[in-house]
Amino acid sequence: MRHPAKLLGLTLLAGLLTLSLQRPGLSGVVETLETLPPSVHLAQDFRGIARKAEADRLLSQGLEQQNRSQYLQALQSWEQALAIYRDIQNRRGEGRALGHLGNAYHNLGDYRRAIEFYEQSLAIAREVSDRGAEGAALGNLGNAYRNLGDYRRAIEFHEQSLEIAREIGDRGAEGAVLGNLGLAYNNLGEYRRAIEFQEQHLEIARELGNRGREGVALGNLGLAYNNLGEYRRAIEFHEQRLAIAREIGDRSGEGTALGNLGIAYYRLGEYRRAIEFYEQTLSLFREIGDRGGEGRALGSLGLAYRNLEQYDLAIDFYSQALSIFSALGSRAEAGITLSNLGNLLNDQDQPELAIVFLKSSVDVRESIRGGLQGLDTSLQQSFTDTVAGTYRTLADLLLQQNRILEAQRVLDLLKVQELDDSLRGVRSTDSTTSGVAFWQVESDLLALYQQVITDADELAQLQAAGYDSLSPEQQQRLATLRQRSTDVQRRFTAFLDLPEVRSLLAQIRQETAGQNLAIETQHRALQNNLRALPQKTALLYPLILSDRLELVLVTADGPPLRYPIAVKGEELNRAIVAFGQALKDPSSDIQPLAQQLYSWLVAPLEPQLEQAGIESLLYAPDGALRYLPLAALHDGEQYLAQRFSLSHITAASLTNFDQVPNASRRRLLAAACAECSFTITVGGATFPFGDLPYSETEVKALAEQVPNTSVLLNEGFNRSELENRLGSYSIIHLATHGAVVENQPSQSFVVLGSGEAVTLETIRQSWSLSHTELVVLSACETAVGSPQLGSGVEILGLGYQIQEAGALGVLASLWKVSDQGTQVLMSAFYDALGQGMTKAEALQAAQQALITGDFSAVGGQRGTIELISSQTGQPPVAGGSLAHPYYWAPFILIGNGL
């Protein structure tokens, strides 16, 4: 039989809880329970239930406020809920409240603080084994890190969250995470992949009838299509998103859709219409307190007004946006805004200031790039493609100002970035680890600019608060700021008008003319290295720009020299493609194209090369020029190979090109895959290969020709036999197939006679090449993967990976080579090495022998040479001459040429 007092307590509690459902708060319930007589023991037991119900109500209230974009109100509701959960020691509820607080700060643009709450929420979710909450916390962390520009960590968190959502069968969470992954890939420039994720997101949202998520997915699809240039299709998606946001009262979603519509119309050149949308979204985001959204709207307004040539307005909007992004830690958006400021200042013929802001943008991009290591190489390369333009613009401006040393450093940074985005953990040096170099006066300018916009923000806040509400100290501060801003309406106008700025700009012009930056020390070290080489050597840096080609020549004595060449990048690329096609056809008339490219790349340097007595060129090519063998250019009388020895380097700062190998201890390991009909599958791609019958002749001839040579052939050429011998030979000659795996250079490989494929990643990590001066890849297309013209980064990657394993240099081919021609070239190359020539000299001597047919300088005639086409069985050219560059130009020396 129940105790009467307990029965009374249960009845009273039930009645009170029923009442609580009919009124907005539970505080009355709690107060009543506290006044119950001591005999009603259960009142105290149920007090915790009531307080939990109150906390749960506050959580729901906060969600409703968030859905109405009332972020500050939601923040207060969740803070109250958190306090109650902690008081009653409800860990599960505490974790949920922490996660919601993280969302509030995220919506307000305070991403760092949001992460702190998300991490606490994640720890509790794992403690109480709440998989759903754990997945939500991981997804929230991914969103916050994406907004901070840390895309690698963002994707890692989203992938963990997706795994949990699918494990527990939460379709709603699965759809949301797919959408967030799509946003991360969109930020990395992988737009097609982003669309795949958003389409899955949309399908799930419609399946569940979730209109809010449906709208988000539609808007995200619009973003991806906008980035693909399909602006009308993007507008359709954004209009659907806008309609849904207004239907469900999603103010934040409405603002986002309006802003994205503005971006699409901006891309269509309808700047006035874009501005109408931007102004609506700016007003809305300011109303709901979304600082990130406000910053994006301001930046968009800046772009639109720049295109309308209203530069003062544009600069003012950029400055306001930059102030917000800097405060939020939004690195990617800050980098974009700094770049936009630099470009606008360049339009206004203020190159010194433009350089300062472009340098800042590159500095931000370098910080983001440092966090991408570990992502798929295709994603890293996509990010590089989205930011490389800023590097090139900066280098362009520096060259125009004759600040050649600084331009050279930016070019090195770009080369390191391209390598690091394709390979992982690229070795940097003092020149590249420290990023872009700032003059002290440039740093002073940036600090002064930051102070000006900070003052302007503070002034605006004090004015908005109202004079009467300010403390005496604040009123004095307001007066000071007003005095400093007298008669100045715009932030950047104030900045440019400051006497300190004018003085600093004059100082920049004076100091940069002398190139006194710290980079000069590195330049002197480079010149010392050039002086130490046995031949008179110069370093050539080309830079392809949209309107011209820039050449930078560095010699052992004197300052670096700049040569602007009036050829558009598009025209140069067409010539490179045509030249590449002609090089692969031994019957082609190569000289007209070879002379045209010579007129752009070498002829302007002729007076300086002759004056300095240059005998050797170190070539650090840019972009598509990496596909071009410099040796095959023609001056009208002879090929460049007949005038200079040549070495390709990844960048001056990455290659120890003055390290002298010990030629007296030279030993050769020659391996051939003559019976090489294999199909190799790597990186999802299939590579079929055929036999290389001349490779056996090639390595056996080398064994007779070169003392201390060991041979591995066919099945004997396997990984175990090869790796056991690596440390004992200074030259590794591999006459076998090799291929570059597009978008995954570290998975590029060479084929062994056993049918095994050894990737460059394995070579880099496992092969002992510390005593190796040269690795020769005597095969087909070992330096080039895709036949389409790209950035040529795979050529850099090939040389870099093998050098990272310890080898000083690599000799590899740019196109499918003639087996017979290669045999002759290699024989002449090794004869020249045996005569004491450097590797670069030996390659030049071998090439000269094939061009002229005179082998006296490389050990004498090779006997009768009979060339037979593998397709027709007939001689490819009359007389069997090897003079066409098809036979001798494909092989390039990457790295140390000594």
Mean pLDDT calculated for residue range 648-660? 62
Q: Is 669 contained in some domain?
A: yes
Mean pLDDT calculated for residue range 148-165? 90
Q: Is 709 contained in some domain?
A: yes
CATH number at residue 606: 3.30.420
| Cβ burial 388-403 (10 Å sphere, 16+ → b, else e) | bebbbbbbbbbbebeb
Res. 487 pLDDT band, cuts 50 70 90: very low
Q: Are residues 723 and 585 in the same domain?
A: no
Q: Does 273 score more than 50 pLDDT? A: yes
Q: Would you call 319 helix, strand, or coil by DSSP?
A: helix
Mean pLDDT calculated for residue range 76-82? 90
Q: Are residues 669 and 816 in the same domain?
A: yes
Sheet harboring 891-895: ordered strands across? 561-565, 549-554, 537-544, 616-619, 645-648, 891-895, 809-813, 774-777, 731-735, 668-672, 709-713
CATH number at residue 787: 3.40.50
Q: Are residues 647 and 671 in the same domain?
A: no
Mean pLDDT calculated for residue range 106-129? 89
Q: Which of 636, 654, 672 finishes a domain?
A: 654
pLDDT in the model for residue 261: 95
Alpha-carbon gap, residue 368 to 376, rounded angstroms: 15
pLDDT in the model for residue 328: 76
Q: Which of 654, 686, 704 finishes a domain?
A: 654
Q: Does 326 score more than 60 pLDDT? A: yes
Q: Does 862 score more than 60 pLDDT? A: no
Q: Are residues 636 and 689 in the same domain?
A: no
Q: Are residues 625 and 693 in the same domain?
A: no
Mean pLDDT calculated for residue range 270-283? 94
Q: Are residues 623 and 677 in the same domain?
A: no
Q: Is 322 contained in some domain?
A: no
Q: What's 415-481 look like in SS3?
A: HHHHHHHHCCCCCCCHHHHCCCCCCHHHHHHHHHHHHHHHHHHHHHHHHHHCHHHCCHHHHHHHHHH
Least-confidence region, from 158-162, 679-683, 801-805: 801-805
Mean pLDDT calculated for residue range 773-781? 77
Least-confidence region, from 61-65, 137-141, 485-489, 631-635: 485-489
* Neighbour tally for 682: CB within 10 Å: 15
Higher pLDDT, 165 or 798: 165
Q: How much is the CA Rg of the chain, to the nearest whole Å?
A: 34
Alpha-carbon gap, residue 620 to 617, rounded angstroms: 10
pLDDT in the model for residue 864: 42
For 223-259, write each residue's pLDDT tens digit.
999 989 999 999 999 999 999 999 999 998 999 999 9
Q: Does 28 score more than 50 pLDDT? A: no
Q: Is 94 contained in some domain?
A: no
pLDDT in the model for residue 671: 92
Q: Which of 477, 497, 512 finishes a domain?
A: 512
Where residue 623 falls (left for φ over 0; alpha for ψ -120 to 50; beta otherwise) is left
Question: Quick one: what percent of the chain has pLDDT higher than 70?
Answer: 78
Amino acid at 765: Q
pLDDT in the model for residue 169: 94
Q: Does 432 score more than 70 pLDDT? A: no
Cα→Cα distances 518→397, 398, 409, Å: 19, 16, 11
Question: Quick one: what percent of the chain has pLDDT higher than 90?
Answer: 29
Q: Is 422 contained in some domain?
A: no
Q: Does 464 score more than 70 pLDDT? A: no
Q: Are residues 635 and 545 in the same domain?
A: yes
Compute CA 696 distance to the chain's CA centroid, rounded to the nearest angstrom. 43
pLDDT in the model for residue 436: 74
Mean pLDDT calculated for residue range 820-841? 86
Q: Is 853 contained in some domain?
A: yes
Mean pLDDT calculated for residue range 85-109? 88
Q: Does 396 score more than 60 pLDDT? A: yes
Mean pLDDT calculated for residue range 782-811? 62
Domain that holds residue 63: 4-89
Cβ(261)–Cβ(304) under 8 Å?
no
pLDDT in the model for residue 375: 56
Q: Are residues 639 and 676 in the same domain?
A: no
Amino acid at 621: P
Res. 561 pLDDT band, cuts 50 70 90: confident
- Please state the domain count of the chain: 4
Res. 655 pLDDT band, cuts 50 70 90: low
pLDDT in the model for residue 452: 72
pLDDT in the model for residue 743: 55
- Kindly give, in sequence order, each residue whose CB lies less than 8 Å from that of residue 715, ignoring residues fewer than 6 positions away: 753, 754
DSSP assigned state of 189: T
Instruction: Give the distance between the most distant pair of CA atoms in the chain.
Output: 120
Cα→Cα distances 52→89, 90, 91, 259, Å: 10, 8, 11, 40
Alpha-carbon gap, residue 403 to 561, rounded angstroms: 10
The first and second tokens of residue 423, run together, are: 């390979």
Most confident of 283-297, 517-531, 815-829: 283-297
The first and second tokens of residue 374, run together, are: 């570990």
Where residue 129 falls (left for φ over 0; alpha for ψ -120 to 50; beta otherwise) is left
pLDDT in the model for residue 696: 87
Q: Are residues 750 and 849 in the same domain?
A: yes
Q: Does 218 score more than 90 pLDDT? A: yes
Q: Does 13 score more than 50 pLDDT? A: no
Q: What are phi and psi of 208, to 5 degrees?
A: -90, -5
Res. 486 pLDDT band, cuts 50 70 90: very low
pLDDT in the model for residue 520: 53
Q: Are residues 630 and 725 in the same domain?
A: no
Q: Is 228 contained in some domain?
A: no
Q: Does 423 score more than 50 pLDDT? A: no
Q: Does 711 score more than 80 pLDDT? A: yes
Average pLDDT over the chain, rounded to whole? 79
Res. 746 pLDDT band, cuts 50 70 90: low
Q: Does 852 score more than 60 pLDDT? A: yes
Q: Are residues 772 and 848 in the same domain?
A: yes
Least-confidence region, from 507-511, 574-578, 712-716, 789-793: 789-793
Least-confidence region, from 127-131, 280-284, 454-458, 854-858: 454-458
pLDDT in the model for residue 697: 86
Q: Does 774 score more than 80 pLDDT? A: yes
Res. 414 pLDDT band, cuts 50 70 90: confident
Q: Is 850 contained in some domain?
A: yes
Alpha-carbon gap, residue 453 to 447, rounded angstroms: 10
Mean pLDDT calculated for residue range 390-404? 83
pLDDT in the model for residue 132: 92
Q: Does 152 score more than 70 pLDDT? A: yes
pLDDT in the model for residue 215: 94
Q: Are residues 460 and 556 in the same domain?
A: no
